[in-house]
Chains A and B, each alone.
Chain A
Amino acid sequence: MIQVKNLHHTYENGREVLMGIDFEMGNEVVALVGQNGSGKTTFAKHLNGLLKPTEGAVKVDGLDTREHSVAELSGIVGYVFQNPEHMFFEENVFREVALGPKNLGLDEKEIEERVKWALKAVNLEGYEERTPYSLSGGEKQRLAIACILAMKPRYIILDEPTTGLDARSFESVAEAIGRLHSDGHGILLITHDMELVLRLAERVVLLENGRKTFDGPVEEFFSFDLRSYGLDRPELLEIGRKLGTGFVRSVPELIEKLSGEGVDGAILP
């Protein structure tokens, strides 16, 4: 359980970014949304101790982030940064993924097992000898996830995991994240990508100017007029509403609902 109580954060230059946030999450998929500058990243950096609260407290599985280093917390809360290239420096994919487990002080056999498992989880088997920088955008993103995954953190924070990816890469990343959730990881998605939120999130937290203004189920979130928050409503929801299928998360789900129940008035092939 991640517990955040009355979190305030003021940067050294005096800018107050977070103003009293209460938050809790377990093994669920939470989407953290909000406009640029609303404090999303600042908030997320508190969860693995990269930033320490100015006021209030953050506890991950009972550990106070103020009393533990980022390295100690990295085995519990993983943070996948927005630009995967900001972390690659090893000569091949295997060594890149192995870095985290090595830092945790695991033995070689365990490290090898974890690397294999992590690469499998993100569908990058057989890439062990490739150079990280030679991968495509989607592959780099998945490798970045694998690097964190190999440390087996209970919670994973993903910062804009689908920005700049084409449709196929989006699909592969979304699939990888979905699998992590079914394996029991708690996931926090920081994103502007409403397709991704619709597809994966169970709960949405909205930040506005350093304050939490919404925290509830994804269905309720999408019933709002999102344009007033500078966000787009996914077209899929509109289609589902017109066809009378109600809330659907993906095209396959839409098709299943349409063909299974036979919705009145819907034209089927």
Chain B
Amino acid sequence: MAQFYRERDSFLHHLDPRVKIVGTILGIAAIMLYNDPTILIPLFFIFLLIGVVLGKISVWEQVTLLKPLLPIVVITIIIWPLIYKPRFMGVLFGVSFSMRLLTFALLTFLLLATTSQGDLILGFVKLGMPHEYGLTISISLRYIPTLYRLAGTIMDAQKSRGWEVEKGNFITRARKMTAVLIPLLVSSLKTAHDLSIALESRGFGASPKRTFIREIRMGRRDYMVLVLMVVFFVLALYARYGLDLGHISIYPR
């Protein structure tokens, strides 16, 4: 999660994390309303543009973040025409479903790229997520680099005993990894145990009411953006159900 964040000075970066979370959810819900590629493709580019203009995240950065989804996109476009007749409509659905997926991912990436980890968790907690969960998430993210270093140390220790992971076929290599995984698991469990004791001894959970060092407050701009997003979403609902736009029936009646 931390590696998605891009430190910039932009409109989206300064927006309240709660507004961004709500916006992402509304955006995803809006995409789910449509399955017509003539609407979904422009929507994707609109969000891409929002990322560039309001978030100062370049097109290239956004595309790089989406690259891991390429195999799924390709498979979707290939499979739809195989199972749907007429073929042409199948291709169309394949394209629109992969556009949905890409826009879905793009919105999530934009949220992660413009919101620091701490702000994001704070936003979720302020939206009603129990702060214990927030703490759990931030601690687990915080320990990823530590675990990575620990795994390096353990591998060094095992190499010093003549252990070589590179040798042998897949199964022997997998079995050899137990030499790293078991010490890693034991150390992690011990750390977790120590951590829980440390938290308790510092009074974690002593009072049901909890204060925060960093407070976030919704400004006028945040409210305006929120209202604007809700308006857009209502318009999207109206276009879909009132005007019956953007939906192609998959199952012929």
Interface residues in chain A, defined as those with a beta carbon under 8 Å from any beta carbon in chain B: 45, 48, 50, 69-71, 74-75, 78-79, 81, 83, 85-89, 99-100, 103-104, 133, 147-148, 151
Contact = CB atoms under 8 A, between A and B. Distances in A.
A147 B162 CA distance: 11
A196 B187 CA distance: 27
A6 to B, nearest CB: 24
Contacts of A81: 153, 156-157, 160
Given A85-B187, A86-B150, 12 more contacts: A74-B159, A86-B157, A87-B154, A87-B183, A88-B186, A89-B180, A89-B182, A89-B183, A99-B161, A133-B186, A148-B160, A151-B162
Given A71-B163, A103-B162, A104-B162, A89 B157 contact: no
Given A81-B153, A133-B186, A89 B178 contact: yes
Contacts, number: 65
Contact of A74 (B153, B154, B161, B186): B161
A83 B184 CA distance: 12
A89 B164 contact: no
Contact of A50 (B150, B159, B186): B159
A74 B161 CA distance: 6
Q: Which of A48, A88, A89 has the most CB of B within 10 A?
A: A89
Given A45-B156, A89-B178, A71 B162 contact: yes
A262 B164 CA distance: 58
Interface of B: 150, 153-154, 156-164, 178-183, 186-187
Nearest to A97: B161
A147 B157 CA distance: 11
B183 A148 contact: no
B162 A89 contact: no
Nearest to A45: B156
A71 B182 contact: no
A85 B162 contact: no
B162 A74 contact: yes
B182 A103 contact: no
Given A86-B153, A86-B187, A87-B154, A79 B182 contact: no
Contacts of B163: 71, 99, 103
| Residue from B150, B159, B187 whose CB has the most chain A CB atoms within 10 Å | B159
Contacts of B187: 85-86
